[in-house]
Amino acid sequence: MTHEMVCAGFGGQGVMLIGQLLAYGGMLEGKEVTWFPSYGPEMRGGTANCSVVISDQPVGSPIVAEPDGLIAMNGPSLMRFKGVVKPGGVIVYNASLIEELPEQPAGVRLFAVATNELAQEIGNDKVGNMVALGAFLGLSKVVGLASVEAALEKVLPERRHHLIPLNISALRRGWALTEG
Amino acid sequence: MERVMMKGNEALAEGAIRAGCRYFFGYPITPQNEIPEYMARRLPEVGGVFLQAESEVSAINMVYGAGGAGGRVLTSSSSPGISLKQEGISYIAGAQVPCVIVNVARGGPGLGGLNPSQSDYFQATKGGGHGDYRLLVYAPGNAQEMVDLIGLAFDKAEEYRNPVMILSDAIMGQMMEPVALPAMRTETTEKPWATTGKQGRSKPNIINSLGLVGEDLERINIELQAKYARLAAAEVRYETDGTGEADLIVVAYGTSSRVVRSAINRLRQEGKKVGLFRPITLWPFPKEALASLAAEGKRFLVVEMSAGQLVEDVILAVNDRAKVSFFGKLNGTVPTVREVYDRILSSLPEGGEG
């Protein structure tokens, strides 16, 4: 089984981080994984994205052209990638920035998360990315929530470790949206 | 062994440190900057020297000096920067000084762009600088090989007293994958030729690449060619996957080989017999292994991110015994899995009805 995902948004929304958490969580579950960032002459305030592959086999191409999962944290990212998500796939999008409900791609589950408002409820508006990731995990079950929580310790630098409980709350808040 | 996620560039840098590399000289250029950044932080922790030179030309000549004095020394750059280093590389090869040079290749010619490319294959394997010299050239295909091959590169550089190149590319460098890191190595090799002072000997060691008298230069070149022949006989590396039963063998290295692997996996699910042949040493090239597959009547497809460089070595290796087709993407674009899938399908015997 191979899962291919894209995390995309504005620079600063933490899309690279949630991509790394997905990959690291997959690795902690014994899977083969890759994480590949968009890079180069990127514009400040422009969009950033990363490709994540999680598989039972050695990963071939680390560049994901047709994902089965998408986390879109802003409108331009949703517009750019929603058309290439495979049927049966999942899109989690940031309803705080994307007001108009986009047209539903055929066979793809579209799930709105008001990441900014939910993050503020938790007490820090910077963890919207974690709320989105939690919801994505709840829908796709690509990686266990516990593995991603364990990955926080590996991915975040030590000076940020005091923020791990806050990030875990945000992940669980996102996950809870998908229950029931 | 515990695995950690690292970018290819960082995995290579940590692999170098653990293989005993203690000197780095370089000059910044995207997409290899993670290597000097990592070395700048890490080398002082292990008592090493990191120095950002004023240019690539200075950096490669610092490598020449440090290698001549017996140090395990690394430099890294990307395509235009590697072009600037070529004079120094030729001198280092001529003087038989061990060192490792990393090219995290980007598109050219000229300043080109920042995207990944494999258009430096000729430069890496056929010379680059002047004179009849060879580099041992490794092409890693994943982050673990970044660690493993950089360690091997330092050992082989010293064993043969020859510069070794790691030919990587922007994707290999930027991608994160799990790696298992080896323990820190502490053993050192004896280097009686190094310029470390006379230490009681009657004659000083001299490192240079000068052979002004005709017979001297001929003798030096005969000695070098004998060394390259030893290298070619002993150091060939490659990986095969399903080549035995394949109707078509795809030849690719580095990033291209990753895309090819995805395409092949899809084709195999559809019952097609497609194999992968991945050169790990680009020089010496695994020509005998390819020649014997050609003798078995295999067809070949070469996939690379260039206008056609690796394909020339494959054609030379199979020497008219097999059909070789080519799919190349020009600088700055990576083939998609679908493109490679389609191309393999149309290259299969009987139009793909394998």
Query: Residue A44's pLDDT band (boundaries 50, 70, 90)?
Result: low
CATH number where B79 lies: 3.40.50.970
Q: What is the CATH number of domain A2-177?
A: 3.40.920.10
H/E element holding B259? helix B254-269
Q: Min CA distance, A147 vs chain B (Å)?
A: 14
Sign of dihedral through CA atoms A45, A152, B176, B100?
positive
Which residues form the domain of B270?
239-349
User: Lowest-pLDDT range, A1-10, A97-106, A143-152?
Assistant: A97-106
Is the pLDDT at B353 greater than 50? The verdict is no
Residue B195 lies in a domain: no
B153 and B270 housed in the same domain? no
Indicate the average pLDDT of chain B. Answer: 95
Is the pLDDT at A134 greater than 50? The verdict is yes
Instruction: Give pLDDT, residue B352.
Output: 44
Q: Min CA distance, A99 vs chain B (Å)?
A: 33
Residue B222 lies in a domain: yes
The A residues from 139 to 178 touching B (CB cutoff 8 Å) are 154-155
B84 and B52 housed in the same domain? yes
Give the mean pLDDT of B147-169.
Answer: 98
> Which of residues A46 and B262 earns the better pLDDT score?
B262
B229 and B263 housed in the same domain? no
B184 and B243 housed in the same domain? no
Query: Residue A43's pLDDT band (boundaries 50, 70, 90)?
Result: low
B217 and B70 housed in the same domain? yes
Give the mean pLDDT of A163-174.
Answer: 97
Angle at B149 between CA B128 and CA B97, to 5 degrees: 50
Question: For residues A115 and B91, what is the distance between their CA atoms, to the nearest angstrom?
Answer: 59
Q: Min CA distance, B339 vs chain A (Å)?
A: 11
Give me the percent of chain B exceeding a pLDDT of 90: 91
- The verdict on a CB contact (< 8 Å) between B31 and A40 is yes
**Total number of domains in chain B:** 2
For the segment B197-221, what is each residue's pLDDT rounded down to a tens digit?
998 888 999 999 998 887 889 999 9
B313 and B169 housed in the same domain? no
Smallest CA-to-CA distance from B77 within B124, B136, B132, B131 is with B124
The A residues from 21 to 40 touching B (CB cutoff 8 Å) are 23-24, 27, 32-37, 39-40
Query: Residue A46's pLDDT band (boundaries 50, 70, 90)?
Result: confident
Q: Is the peptide bond before B284 cis (omega within 30 degrees of 0)?
A: yes
Residue positions counted in chain B: 354
Tell the burial category of B312 from Cβ atoms under 10 Å away from its Cβ (0-12, 13-18, 19+).
Answer: middle
Interface predicted TM-score (ipTM) of this complex, two decimals: 0.93
* CB-nearest partner of A24 from B5, B171, B264: B5
Amino acid identity, residue B285? F
Give the mean pLDDT of B91-107.
Answer: 97
Query: In chain A, which residue's Cα lies nearest the Cα of B1?
Result: A30
Give the mean pLDDT of B127-147.
Answer: 97
- The verdict on a CB contact (< 8 Å) between B30 and A40 is yes
Structure tokens at B102: 């990393």
Question: For residues B350 and B269, what is the distance between their CA atoms, to the nearest angstrom?
Answer: 19
For the segment B50-91, what is each residue's pLDDT rounded down to a tens digit?
999 999 999 999 999 999 999 999 999 999 999 999 999 999
Instruction: Give pLDDT, residue B333.
Output: 83
Give the mean pLDDT of A18-28.
Answer: 98
- The verdict on a CB contact (< 8 Å) between A59 and B177 is yes
B181 and B246 housed in the same domain? no
Tell me which of A61, A143, A153, A156 to substitute to probe the interface with B (most B C-beta atoms closer than 10 Å): A61
B216 and B270 housed in the same domain? no
Query: In chain A, which residue's Cα lies nearest the Cα of B2?
Result: A28
Query: Residue A84's pLDDT band (boundaries 50, 70, 90)?
Result: very high
Query: Residue A99's pLDDT band (boundaries 50, 70, 90)?
Result: confident
Residue B157 lies in a domain: yes
